[in-house]
């Protein structure tokens, strides 16, 4: 059965003391996710090693970077390569978050390069896709998301694809408090899975975890994660509040 994942995306929040306290508060709950469960914390770069150290061998917990370079190595001031991430024991990386696409000009082709570099270093990319409000208002969301997946992932083999996590994050639901309805989430997740099935086959598509992101909270997580094709969430704001995120972890399907 595919993994059910609660992933925290802290974005550019928390100073080190608050970051440590937040992780401590969540980890002290000692939540043991089910066999197919996974908890991931995508923390700011300077906290990666501190956060990884706190996991202390907990098999179902992992730390992620929020971004990586599309270049392998070299004179790219301010960038962080997947090789550097791998060398400090990081096994997950968010790729193509809508904030990276929107504010830092990241394009589908560049994201394909990032995905390739991650896979080459055995880092699991959490590949983000999702449409803006004006696209949804014109009912263009399916074509839009299909194109994001085609441009960034279609070159992968079935074996490679199965090492990827997909996060569907409708931009209109991010940080707005406006969550997609369970119908909207399930519809899009089912659509994404059918796109994957069309290219790589039903069995491969059935193995891919597809997370929902966009105003996930303790109060709506259970309902969203209960959808057949929603395999957990990528959580921003609510992941910064320990009791909220603890409940979100506990809302994963078993």
Q: Which of 234, 248, 249, 252 binds ligand 13P (CB under 6 A)?
A: 234
- DSSP SS3 for 179: coil
Q: Compute the distance between CA of residue 235 and CA of residue 212 in angstroms, rounded to an integer.
A: 8
Geometric angle at alpha carbon 51, from 236 and 238, rounded to 5°: 20
Q: By the 8 A CB rule, do 214 and 173 touch? A: yes
Q: By the 8 A CB rule, do 208 and 161 touch? A: yes
Q: Does 216 bind ligand 13P (CB under 6 A)?
A: yes
User: CB of residue 66 vs ligand 13P: minimum separation in angstroms?
Assistant: 9
Tokens 């590949």 — which residue?
A: 127
Cα 207 to its chain centre, rounded Å, is 16
Near ligand 13P in 142-171, by CB under 6 A = 169
Per the DSSP assignment, residues forming a β-bridge with 39 are 6, 61
Near ligand 13P in 94-133, by CB under 6 A = 97
User: CB of residue 202 vs ligand 13P: minimum separation in angstroms?
Assistant: 28
Q: Compute the distance between CA of residue 92 and CA of residue 57 in angstroms, rounded to an integer.
A: 16
Binding mask 49-88 for ligand 13P (x = CB under 6 A): ----------------------------------------
Task: Please indicate whether residue 169 is annotated as part of the active site.
Answer: yes
* CB-nearer residue toward ligand 13P: 3 or 200: 3
Q: Does 213 bind ligand 13P (CB under 6 A)?
A: yes
Q: Does 23 bind ligand 13P (CB under 6 A)?
A: no
Binding site for ligand 13P (CB under 6 A): 9, 97, 169, 174-175, 213-216, 234-238
Q: Catalytic amino acids?
A: 97, 169
């Amino acid at each position: 059965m595919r993994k059910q994942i609660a992933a925290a995306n802290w974005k550019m929040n928390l100073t080190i003391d608050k970051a440590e306290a937040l992780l401590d508060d969540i980890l002290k709950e000692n939540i043991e996710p089910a066999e197919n469960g996974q908890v991931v914390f995508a923390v700011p770069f300077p906290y990666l090693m501190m956060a990884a150290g706190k996991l202390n061998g907990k098999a179902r917990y992992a730390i992620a970077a929020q971004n990586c370079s599309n270049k392998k190595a070299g004179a790219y001031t301010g960038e962080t390569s997947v090789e550097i991430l791998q060398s400090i024991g990081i096994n997950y990386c968010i790729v193509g978050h809508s904030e990276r696409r929107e504010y830092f000009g990241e394009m589908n082709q560049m994201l394909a390069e990032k995905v390739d570099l991650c896979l080459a270093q055995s880092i699991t990319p959490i590949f983000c896709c999702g449409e803006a409000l004006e696209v949804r208002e014109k009912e263009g969301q399916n074509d839009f998301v299909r194109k994001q997946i085609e441009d960034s992932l279609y070159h992968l083999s079935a074996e490679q694809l199965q090492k990827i996590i997909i996060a569907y994050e409708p931009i209109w639901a991010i940080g707005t408090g406006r969550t997609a309805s369970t119908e909207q989430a399930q519809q899009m997740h089912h659509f994404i899975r059918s796109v994957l099935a069309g290219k790589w086959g039903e069995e491969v598509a059935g193995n891919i975890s597809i997370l929902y992101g966009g105003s996930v909270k303790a109060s709506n997580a259970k309902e969203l994660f209960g959808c057949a094709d929603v395999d957990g969430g990528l959580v921003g704001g609510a992941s910064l509040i320990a009791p909220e995120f603890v409940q979100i972890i506990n809302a994963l399907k078993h």
